Every structure is written in C-alpha cells, then in structure tokens.
Amino acid sequence: MEPYIENAVKAMGIKVTGKELFPSYGELSVRDVREKITGVPSPSLAVPFQSPMRPPVMCPGCPHRGVFYVLRQLKLGVSGDIGCYTLGAGAPLEAIDTTICMGASISGALGMEKAHPELAEKMVAVIGDSTFCHSGVTGLMDVVYNGGNTTVIILDNSITAMTGHQENPSTGKTLMGQPAPKVDFVALCKALGVKRVTEVDAFDLDKVKEVVKTEVAAKEPSVIITRRPCALIIKNTEKPVEVQECTGCKVCLKLGCPALSFDEENKTVLVDTSLCTGCGVCTQVCKFNALRKAGESNE
Ligand SMILES: Cc1ncc(C[n+]2csc(CCOP(=O)(O)OP(=O)(O)O)c2C)c(N)n1
Ligand code: SF4
Ligand code: SF4
Ligand code: SF4
C-alpha cells in the first residue's frame, strides 16, 4: 500500500490527495474509504448476537487433507508454505507449525535443522507444486549444497489452486491454456542432487505414513511427491461414502472435511452426500469401519 501511483501522479505536477488520508498498512474497507472521504462516521455494524464461528477449511475431497492428518499423527514438526495447504495449520488438522512467506518452507526447515541438528528426524517441509516452481527449487538446491538432511513433501495437486486455479510450469499448460513443456519433479529433484525421491498417492494414508517415516529417518535429503489433483479441477465419478454403525468416537472429524458433521442427539456422524466426493480418506481413519465407500460391506 505504498503511494506508488500517488507519487507518479504528483511527479506530473498534478495535485493528489492520498496518504494523508489512507494508511500504508491494513485493509481498505468500504467503511474506511467512505469515512475518510466524506468525514462522516459510518454507522455501527454491531449485531445483537454472536455469529457462529466458521473457520476456513479445505474442500471435501482435497488431496492435502490426508497428508496433514498423517503428519499430525506422526507428531512431526512441519515447516509450511503458502497455498491451500496452509489451511493445514488451522483446526482441526493443526499440523503446520510455521509459515513465513512463499517458498520459505524448505530453507526454513534447513535453517532449523542447522540450528538444532536433532530436529532433522522430527520435521518436514511441505510445499505446493506451484510454490515449488516459484521459489522452492532454490531452497532444495541449498539443502543439497549445505549437506542438509531435510525431508521435503511436494504436495502436487496439478494446479495453483489457492489463487484461482492457474496453470504453472508443472501442469503442462501455459496460463492461456496452450500446451507447454511440463516440469518433471522427479528428474528436477534428482538433477539438484537429491537421491531419495518418492512418489505417493495422496489418498493412500498408510503408504503416505510409511514413506514419511522412512524418509525422515534417512540421513540425507529426501523429496516425497504426494500426487492427486485438486478436487475442483477433476470430473469426479466416485460415489459419496456411507455411514453404518458409527460409535460416535469423532476421530473422523479431526480431518476437518466439510462433508462430515456430528448428530449430537443420535451420537452419529452424518455425511452430506451433496458435498462428499467419495475420496475415501475418512474411511481409512475410522477404526470401526463405520464409513464405507458406497456398495462396500463393513464385514
Ligand atoms: C511472493 C508471493 N507471490 C504470490 C503469492 C500469491 N500466492 C498465494 S498461494 C499461491 C500459489 C499456491 O499454489 P500451490 O503452491 O500449487 O498450492 P495450492 O494452492 O495449489 O495448494 C500464490 C501464487 C504469495 N503469497 N506470495
Ligand atoms: S481448491 Fe483444491 S487444493 Fe484448494 S482446498 Fe479445495 S480441493 Fe484443496
Ligand atoms: S464414523 Fe467412525 S471415526 Fe467417525 S465418529 Fe463414527 S466410528 Fe468414529
Ligand atoms: S470421502 Fe470422507 S473425507 Fe472424502 S469427501 Fe467424503 S466425507 Fe470427506
């Protein structure tokens, strides 16, 4: 919010009103703009009731959800980055510990590991495909160059989701939708000197867990690429999951899937079938086999 245009216009000799009214930080709400320009205080927007809390969560069927569930289960420290997956910091997943700025997850993790070498086997860096292309590659190069042990998870959902589903150098299309060369993450990471590169299905929680455990224990840099497209860019053909004989343990609610809610009166989980994509992540966390893919028996 620096006076960029204001200064340029002033430099042309034109009188401008700007920064003496509006600050260089914070948010410009309609209220603030109206108040500053008219000088008339805006009416209070207070309402006589407490509105319900609605924290932002990942979409139903989001490929990032299960990965964060596993990282939380493994009690790993997580150096986070910027994208839809930053929501892994919020409740109920609460898996991300730090997020500094776009691309800082890997270099941040390397720095923490250099300051506290014992952390190397207790933490990972997570970064989206677009963010990795933007400014993660340099951090990974640094990890190899500086003899780090860092484990990096590239959350590849085949799109730049958070900012509105733009293409990026790893999606195989230009921003105009034209075919483009596609960055091969495995080849790129290996070219940077990372010998341990593993690809895993983001919806296969057992596999994600096994690979993460192996790679954080490794005494050299590793990259894990979790793959599944963003739920909003695929034509989904899966049926919603069904609930049968729920014990009411609420473990599945820790996933923060908006398609799952709890009926306190009947002590059972409910699935909103208009939201559920049938990704099957919740069926893997329910120990009582109460959540099942449509048509599957719970025997
Ligand atoms: C330096 C900088 N440039 C741009 C942005 C805007 N921005 C926020 S998230 C994001 C990309 C996220 O894409 P990806 O890493 O693929 O994660 P996804 O949202 O798909 O999970 C961008 C460009 C930013 N936060 N910082
Ligand atoms: S837009 Fe895609 S990546 Fe973002 S939260 Fe939704 S499903 Fe996940
Ligand atoms: S569906 Fe399974 S995990 Fe969820 S509350 Fe019921 S028994 Fe627990
Ligand atoms: S299968 Fe489970 S986790 Fe996936 S969208 Fe449906 S309710 Fe959510």
User: The domain that contains 174 carries what CATH number?
Assistant: 3.40.50.970
- In this structure, the answer to whether residues 21 and 106 fall within a common structural domain is no
- Residue 56, domain member (yes or no): no
- In this structure, the answer to whether residues 186 and 251 fall within a common structural domain is no
Q: Considering its fold, how many domains does the chain have in total?
A: 3
pTM of the model: 0.88
User: What's the mean pLDDT when you consider all of the chain?
Assistant: 95
- Residue 212, domain member (yes or no): yes
CATH of the domain at 246: 3.30.70.20
Task: Give the separation between CA 95 and CA 107, rounded to whole angstroms.
Answer: 19
- In this structure, the answer to whether residues 141 and 75 fall within a common structural domain is yes
Q: Average pLDDT, stretch 154-172?
A: 98
Q: Average pLDDT, stretch 31-47?
A: 88
Task: Give the separation between CA 230 and CA 236, rounded to whole angstroms.
Answer: 11
DSSP, collapsed to helix, strand or coil, labels residue 178 as coil
- Shortest-distance atom of ligand 4 to CA 255: 3
Q: Residue 220's pLDDT band (boundaries 50, 70, 90)?
A: very high
Number of H helices, E strands in the chain: 9, 10
pLDDT at position 257 over 70: yes
- Residue 48, domain member (yes or no): no
From the CA of 101, how far away is ligand 1's center (Å)? 10
Q: pLDDT at position 248, please?
A: 98
Express each pLDDT in 266-283 by its tens digit: 999 999 999 999 999 999
Express each pLDDT in 84-97 by its tens digit: 999 999 999 999 99
- Residue 194, domain member (yes or no): yes
- Residue 139, domain member (yes or no): yes
Question: Residue 160: CB within 6 Å of ligand 1?
Answer: yes
Q: Name the residue of 57, 130, 157, 227 to mutate for ligand 2: max ligand atoms within 8 A of Cβ.
A: 157
From the CA of 96, how far away is ligand 1's center (Å)? 16
Q: Residue 216: give the domain boundaries.
A: 64-227
Q: pLDDT at position 51, please?
A: 82
From the CA of 284, how far away is ligand 4's center (Å)? 10
168 neighbors 133 (Cβ within 8 angstroms): yes
- Residue 289, domain member (yes or no): yes
Ligand 3 atom 4 nearest Cα: 252
Q: pLDDT at position 297, please?
A: 62
- In this structure, the answer to whether residues 166 and 208 fall within a common structural domain is yes
Task: Give the separation between CA 170 and CA 156, rounded to whole angstroms.
Answer: 9
Task: Give the separation between CA 41 and CA 142, rounded to whole angstroms.
Answer: 53
- In this structure, the answer to whether residues 165 and 206 fall within a common structural domain is yes
- Residue 151, domain member (yes or no): yes
pLDDT at position 53 over 90: no
Task: Write out the two tokens for 208.
Answer: 């994600």
In angstroms, what CA-CA distances link 50 with 45, 46, 53, 135, 261? 13, 10, 9, 42, 21
Ligand 1 atom 26 nearest Cα: 102
Ligand 2 atom 2 nearest Cα: 230
